[in-house]
Structure 1
């Protein structure tokens, strides 16, 4: 007997492109969403299951509320070796959360993985289709620079670590434009869901 599994969608996009808004639209349409950033925050938060391992590897970077992201960031950012040590703790745990999510939603026709650095980490190889959220650069910059504490220099540094938007768009299976109205964006999401009907569901 053949067993079908959900179509796995990877959702990504550069900073300020509206990825969280689009993820929420998929969720509103009934698609289960796995938020990779939220999973990491939970794992590193108060009573998070990797807090002890991070403290052992990076003494003084945790407290009653879990990982002190500022203290940890000061150690690993700009140091590839230290970042790799951290990733060796975080990535397997996130993988376990991802597997548990898939098991919980094994009967869903589509599931969505919201992964900010999908292409940058090779995550596209772990999903069936990739959705990229994109907006014109001037809209992107205006959105991001409204954020508290954000400066043009900080934004440029963030963008330098991310795959350029045009390359993400070129590698996408679907593109959701977010430079227009919310209704237009919602229609694009609905069109993707409609396109991925049961006939396309991969066999396990």
Structure 2
């Protein structure tokens, strides 16, 4: 089994690279998807979040009211730490289960947005960084996600810098160009990865 940590700044195209790798046969372990699963209605994770933050973080249907929770944790680093103390162990456990279920010769790609920020590189055999220039990322966030340029810059500033991400990369996937240029690059990366299994 080859364990890859895949990351990239907001707007770089990490999700598209993940999708393309899955199409080649990679087993994708997506931290964002798992983070939502572990606090879904009826889970011990949601019960723990509600116990910690109160019933005001629950929507009328019993699901997590993400905006309400966000208003609490993003205004107070200690509260964010409390949330992470609940969610991160659950995400790690579920990620380990998914990895353990993969075939022995699988390429397992852990899609981890905050890999650089949290110093997680050593957990993987290789770290792959999806990279695009800041200008390209801002354009995508404005055009495709409806952010203002200031909002895009603020979101980017809240993440690791581009040089910090590139510093931990064993493999850089350039996605500064149009989407049609990405598929052949990912195909080349897949060949390199499968040769290492």
- 1:34 alignment partner, SS class: strand
Gaps of 5+ in 1: 1-5
Counterpart in the other structure of 1:184 = 181
* Aligned 1:89-168 pairs, distance under 5 A: 89-168=86-165
More displaced 10-residue stretch of structure 1: 166-175 or 90-99: 166-175
Counterpart in the other structure of 1:81 = 78
Q: Matched residues in 1 for 2:52 and 2:46: separation?
A: 10
- 2:4 alignment partner, SS class: strand
- 1:188 alignment partner, SS class: helix
Distance 1:148 1:181, change over 3 A: closer
Counterpart in the other structure of 2:172 = 175
Counterpart in the other structure of 2:24 = 29
More displaced 10-residue stretch of structure 1: 105-114 or 66-75: 105-114
Residue 144 of structure 1 contacts residue 150 of structure 1 at CA under 8 Å; is this kept in 2? Answer: yes
**How many angstroms does 1:172 deviate by?**
0.5
**How many angstroms does 1:113 deviate by?**
0.5
Out of 174, 191, 196, the position equivalent to 2:193 is: 196
1:61 aligns with 2:57: yes
Q: Give the TM-score normalised by structure 2.
A: 0.91
Q: Give the TM-score normalised by structure 1.
A: 0.88
Distance 1:191 1:158, change over 3 A: same
Q: Matched residues in 1 for 2:133 and 2:152: separation?
A: 15
**How many angstroms does 1:33 deviate by?**
0.4
Counterpart in the other structure of 1:52 = 47
Gaps of 5+ in 2: none
Residue 138 of structure 2 contacts residue 153 of structure 2 at CA under 8 Å; is this kept in 1? Answer: no
Q: Which runs of 4+ in 1 moved over 4 A?
A: none
Q: Matched residues in 2 for 1:105 and 1:197: separation?
A: 15
Residue 131 of structure 2 contacts residue 173 of structure 2 at CA under 8 Å; is this kept in 1? Answer: yes
Q: Matched residues in 2 for 1:166 and 1:187: separation?
A: 25
Larger helix percent: 2
Deviations 1:94-116 (A, max 9, x none): 01111110111042431100011
Deviations 1:12-49 (A, max 9, x none): 00010111100000000000101100111112233343
Distance 1:65 1:148, change over 3 A: farther
